[in-house]
Structure 1
Amino acid sequence: MAKLIDEKLLDEAAHWLARMHASDFSASEQAALVQWCTQSAAHAQVWRCAQHIKRQLHEVPSSLGMAVLNRPASVTNRRHLLRNTALTLVAVPVLGWLTSQSLPWQAWSADYRTAKGQRRTVVLADGSRITLNTASAISASMRSDARLIEHYEGEILVETAHNAVYQHLPFIVQTRDGQMQALGTKFIVRQHEQGTTLSVLEGAVRATPAHLEQAATVHIRQQLRFTGHALGATTALDTHAGAWTQGVLYAENMRLEDFLRELGRYRNGVLHCTPEVAGLLVSGVYQLSDTDRILHLLAQTLPVRLQMRTRYWVSVVQA
């Protein structure tokens, strides 16, 4: 299987993986990276592996990681890491990844974005308010046929306005999985690796998958998970779906593994637990402004302890 991985592509991907994090990464380099990624399915596969590594490392800060990545000798190390990841993913089809909604450079050029752990509220030309959760990116445009929000990654809260100048234009949020049209409403859209979750707080929203000739209208206090090819069942809204807008993470009998995965959205670095403690249940209301404190609270209230290689590499293990 190793013969399927081109050494030259691994070297080139390793180079781009380092360059894209550099402070002097230019617009011309970005365009060159886009061209490189789209040369062939093989290029796309190797870059997908690079992006997988980036997600697994949860964007370790440049002060720890990028200095090492930029050393000339580390190209070989990055190539080995890319090869190992590629071998685990080589059987996964890449055609879906090649659709425009999933390509990472769109998020780079987004109109509005947030870093990990950051929240931001923007007011659009029509008076609508968009609140971006951690690690989120959108672009917004007032077109002649619609008010369009292109949602590239993360999670947003949408509060539509009723400006008379724009009210005749449909308000649409577009993700890689499809589009959602607001019917005078307040709602949350969250993108997952597989699928989009729509949570309606007020009014109603019509969701249409990208590759399905079928739509579903989601009403107040309802939520829906869908992909580009399928609509899930409409269920009762999680009463704490919007807790993040207040800087709060709410847990009620949540498995520790799931809790840490959610907490990891707001914290730089690697955060995980061992299988022995993964099923422990977590309940409480946690302030996201201090994730270190949350971890120490877990160690005080559960039979676990923290193994911290650095602040950015934390394992929760059995006490």
Structure 2
Amino acid sequence: MPALSPKALEEAAEWLMRLSEGDLNDSERAEWEHWKLSSPERDRAWARAQLLQNKLGGLPPSLAMSALDRPASPERRAALGKLALLLAVMPVGWGSWKLAQNQQWTADYSTRVGERRELVLADGSRITLNTDTAIDVRFDSQQRLVHLREGEILVQTAHEATRPFLVSTRQGRMQALGTRFTVRELNARTHLAVLEGTVKVMLAENSQTAPLIVNAGQRTDFSAQTFGALGTADGNVDAWTRGMLMADKMRLADFVAELLRYRRGFVRCDPAIADLKISGAFPVSDSQRALGMLVQTYPVRVSGHLNGYWVTLSPA
């Protein structure tokens, strides 16, 4: 079945917002009924809207208040774009959105999409949080523990002889041995790159496997049961701490997936150019500028919909 167009999703989001604001009069209700029946695509888009409404019993709370703003207000337009994106990825979109919101609300420290944050912990260790990241910090007399709920961090540990410094994820636990390293959770695996020192890794659900020692200049990834292979760490793995996304013959589709971490909305890459190799340094703090750099350098055309929340990359 073909994907729904941004226009149909935006129209469905608009009607859903209008319905959430109060009862429609007879003329508006007739207009709404005509819109639903005017094309199979609009009917499918409204079915998505109904599914979302049934799951939530209304709009997500963070969008509901914006729906009450003036029709042409930037806040309402932004809420409309977010709602259309939720409709685009239903039925999994709401679950992911709800999980992300819960992580942000209950974590000790977190960052929003596009935000970076540096923390100095009680022992002098430094943690830098990348975009859309959440952590908990638990220091006691026995250990110093940072739990990565989601996202990516750069860790610079302070030396302390009596308490080990640990970073945990759902997949395992890493003990830092005088170390600077990055940790990222992605697709049910933890990705570790050691820049200085050594990290000992223990799996969460396989105590029979001996811990893996990862030295400076090495990287690995692991699930809760198994280790991946040791490899050479990318020298630019921490470029995000300087506000940059470094690409070295990276597939355009992979580049888009990375850039999307730093912006709200949806970016679609046409399969015809998905394997185009991209190289360069791109600013993650200004994703529109990064997309503009692509247009200037490569045979790529960028088109926007839904007030910039939906972007499509296609052959130029």
Query: What TM bracket, shorter-length normalisation?
Result: 0.7 to 0.9
CA distance in 2, matches of 1:68, 1:304: 24
Letter in 2 for 1:218: V
Whether 1:255 and 2:251 are equivalent positions in the alignment is yes
Q: How does 1:77-156 map to 2 (within 5 A)?
A: 85=91, 105-156=102-153
Unaligned runs of 5+ in 1: 1-7, 25-60, 89-93
Is the 2:81–2:309 Cα contact (8 Å) retained in structure 1?
no
Letter in 1 for 2:61: R
Whether 1:201 and 2:195 are equivalent positions in the alignment is yes
Is the 1:204–1:220 Cα contact (8 Å) retained in structure 2?
yes
Identify if the C-alpha distance between structure 1 residues 161 and 68 changes in structure 2 by more than 3 Å, giving closer, same or farther.
closer
Give, in angstroms, the shift of residue 194 of structure 1. Answer: 2.4
Letter in 2 for 1:312: Y
Q: Which residue in 2 is equivalent to 1:224?
A: 220
Q: Deviations 1:157-216 (Å, cap 9, x if unpaired)? A: 0000125xxx31111111111111111111100110221101101111111121112221
CA distance in 1, matches of 2:82, 2:285: 29
Indicate the SS of the match to 1:190. strand
CA distance in 2, matches of 1:220, 1:21: 45
Identify if the C-alpha distance between structure 1 residues 17 and 108 changes in structure 2 by more than 3 Å, giving closer, same or farther.
farther
Q: Which residue in 2 is equivalent to 1:187?
A: 181
Give, in angstroms, the shift of residue 62 of structure 1. Answer: 6.5
Give, in angstroms, the shift of residue 112 of structure 1. Answer: 0.8
Identify if the C-alpha distance between structure 1 residues 104 and 117 changes in structure 2 by more than 3 Å, giving closer, same or farther.
closer
Identity %: 42
Identify if the C-alpha distance between structure 1 residues 276 and 286 changes in structure 2 by more than 3 Å, giving closer, same or farther.
same
CA distance in 2, matches of 1:197, 1:112: 20
Give, in angstroms, the shift of residue 67 of structure 1. Answer: 5.7
Identify if the C-alpha distance between structure 1 residues 154 and 16 changes in structure 2 by more than 3 Å, giving closer, same or farther.
farther
Letter in 2 for 1:296: G
CA distance in 2, matches of 1:251, 1:239: 12
Whether 1:158 and 2:144 are equivalent positions in the alignment is no
Q: Which residue in 1 is equivalent to 2:298?
A: 302
Letter in 1 for 2:135: I
Identify if the C-alpha distance between structure 1 residues 172 and 277 changes in structure 2 by more than 3 Å, giving closer, same or farther.
same
Unaligned runs of 5+ in 2: 1-49, 67-73
Identify if the C-alpha distance between structure 1 residues 287 and 103 changes in structure 2 by more than 3 Å, giving closer, same or farther.
closer
Is the 2:134–2:150 Cα contact (8 Å) retained in structure 1?
yes
Normalised to the residue count of structure 2, the TM-score between the two structures is 0.72
Give, in angstroms, the shift of residue 249 of structure 1. Answer: 0.7
Q: Which residue in 2 is equivalent to 1:52?
A: none
Identify if the C-alpha distance between structure 1 residues 69 and 217 changes in structure 2 by more than 3 Å, giving closer, same or farther.
closer
Q: Which residue in 2 is equivalent to 1:19?
A: 61
Identify if the C-alpha distance between structure 1 residues 136 and 221 changes in structure 2 by more than 3 Å, giving closer, same or farther.
same
CA distance in 1, matches of 2:60, 2:234: 40
Give, in angstroms, the shift of residue 105 of structure 1. Answer: 3.0
Structure number with greater Rg is 2
Identify if the C-alpha distance between structure 1 residues 20 and 12 changes in structure 2 by more than 3 Å, giving closer, same or farther.
farther
Identify if the C-alpha distance between structure 1 residues 62 and 258 changes in structure 2 by more than 3 Å, giving closer, same or farther.
farther
Normalised to the residue count of structure 1, the TM-score between the two structures is 0.71
Alignment root-mean-square deviation, CA: 3.1
Q: Which residue in 1 is equivalent to 2:278?
A: 282
